[in-house]
């Protein structure tokens, strides 16, 4: 049986920490808690489960904190958890079986992260696989009878363990504020973070969030080191920000830029909203239809589902066609159900 170190970074988690630790009690061979500046009872609660509690001066860098936590681990594998996660009885048993049967050549174990749509920030699906269990010391081995080489890619195993994500609130404000600080400090967002920033804006952002991000994404559209996908993401954000602040010239500038890159559901929805605001329902219907049926989403899957379908329903209601509106409302409900059930 493999041994497992639980590594967590926490701050002011007194309301949920015991719930998390109770759900994994007996499964972990070691519990490591790294506190980044709690002012509540978090550390006192943690002390009821482990004596391996460390302080880490918060730098605004989650990776630095997690790397510090991982450096304290001593077991075969490291289980990375957040305080708002819970393992129910069925998945506790699945985790126990996993420990008994896990092959030592496995480097990473993925587990299902569930209940994401309840109050998620950047989630398109309610349930998806995520890397959660990591081999602490990786063994390198040679492969190939001839032209041998060292295996560099990790061996990943998709388990059937399901973790319930049960946050008390959406972390959107914290996340977007962090992005804004990075931009202000001149940090260049790599492709992954650039996409996450745009995705979080479309899924959870409010008008003020788009206004705050507008200049950054306009500049991204001019960045010759960005790839086509990044330019497309940036133009979607810039177009939506322009529409929200009433800058029609800028709106069409970035909307056309996206369409020139084959378009996407996000920009179709923006054009639908623009024409609906102008009371041009015929044109709005064209673009909402394209968002629902003719294009794919790149940031927010709802823009290829319930959002344009609701837009179609609203437009048909506005022109007095209640029957067709009911059809699209029904389709929107069905798309939302499918998204919640899809992994």
Distance CA 129, CA 196 (A): 17
Per-residue CA distances from 163 to 31, 307, 337 (Å): 18, 28, 21
Of residues 173, 172, 196, 195, the one with CA closest to residue 120: 172
Tens-digit pLDDT string for the chain (343 aa): 999 999 999 999 999 999 999 999 899 999 999 999 999 999 999 999 999 999 999 988 899 999 999 999 999 999 999 999 999 999 999 999 999 999 989 999 999 999 878 766 678 878 899 999 999 998 887 778 777 788 888 999 999 999 999 887 777 888 999 999 999 999 999 999 999 999 999 999 999 999 999 999 999 999 999 999 999 999 999 999 999 999 999 999 999 999 998 899 999 999 999 999 999 999 999 999 999 999 999 999 999 999 999 999 999 999 999 999 999 999 999 999 888 777 6
Distance CA 211, CA 195 (A): 17
Distance CA 263, CA 57 (A): 44
Q: Which domains does the chain have, with CATH numbers?
A: 4-165 (3.90.550.10), 172-341 (1.25.40.10)
The count of other CB atoms within 10 Å of the CB of residue 117 is 15
> 100 and 37 in contact (C-beta within 8 Å)?
no
Give the sign of the dihedral formed by CA 48, CA 53, CA 56, CA 60. negative
Q: What share of the chain is helix, strand, coil (3-state, %, to 5)?
A: 50, 15, 35
* Structure tokens that stand for 156 in this block: 């990943």
Distance CA 148, CA 28 (A): 38
């Amino acid at each position: 049986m493999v041994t497992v170190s639980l590594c967590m970074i926490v701050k002011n988690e007194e309301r949920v920490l015991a719930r998390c630790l109770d759900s994994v009690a007996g499964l972990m061979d070691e519990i490591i808690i790294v506190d980044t500046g709690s002012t509540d009872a978090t550390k006192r609660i943690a002390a009821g489960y482990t004596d391996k509690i460390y302080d880490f001066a918060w730098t605004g860098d989650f990776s630095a904190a997690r790397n510090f936590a991982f450096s304290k681990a001593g077991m075969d594998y490291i289980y990375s958890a957040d305080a708002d996660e819970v393992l129910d009885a069925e998945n506790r048993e699945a985790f126990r079986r996993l420990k008994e049967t896990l092959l030592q050549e496995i480097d990473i174990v993925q587990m299902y992260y569930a209940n994401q749509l309840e109050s998620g920030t950047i989630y398109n699906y309610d349930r998806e696989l995520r890397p959660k269990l990591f081999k602490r010391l990786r063994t390198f081995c040679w492969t190939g009878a001839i032209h041998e080489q060292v295996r560099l890619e990790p061996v990943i195993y998709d388990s059937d363990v399901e973790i319930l994500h049960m946050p008390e609130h959406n972390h959107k404000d914290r996340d977007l504020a962090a992005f804004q600080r990075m931009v202000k400090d001149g940090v260049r967002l790599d492709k992954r973070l650039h996409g996450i920033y745009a995705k979080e804006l479309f899924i959870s952002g409010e008008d003020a969030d788009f206004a705050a991000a507008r200049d950054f994404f306009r500049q991204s559209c001019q960045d010759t080191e960005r790839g086509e996908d990044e330019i497309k993401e940036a133009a979607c954000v810039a177009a939506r920000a322009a529409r929200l602040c009433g800058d029609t010239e800028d709106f069409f500038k970035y909307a056309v830029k996206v369409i020139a890159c084959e378009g996407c559901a996000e920009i179709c929805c923006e054009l639908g909203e623009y024409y609906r605001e102008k009371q041009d329902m015929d044109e709005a219907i064209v673009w909402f239809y394209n968002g629902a049926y003719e294009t794919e989403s790149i940031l927010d899957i709802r823009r290829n589902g319930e959002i344009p379908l609701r837009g179609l329903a609203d437009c048909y209601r506005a022109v007095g066609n209640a029957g067709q509106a009911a059809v699209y409302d029904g389709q929107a409900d069905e798309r939302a159900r499918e998204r919640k059930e899809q992994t």
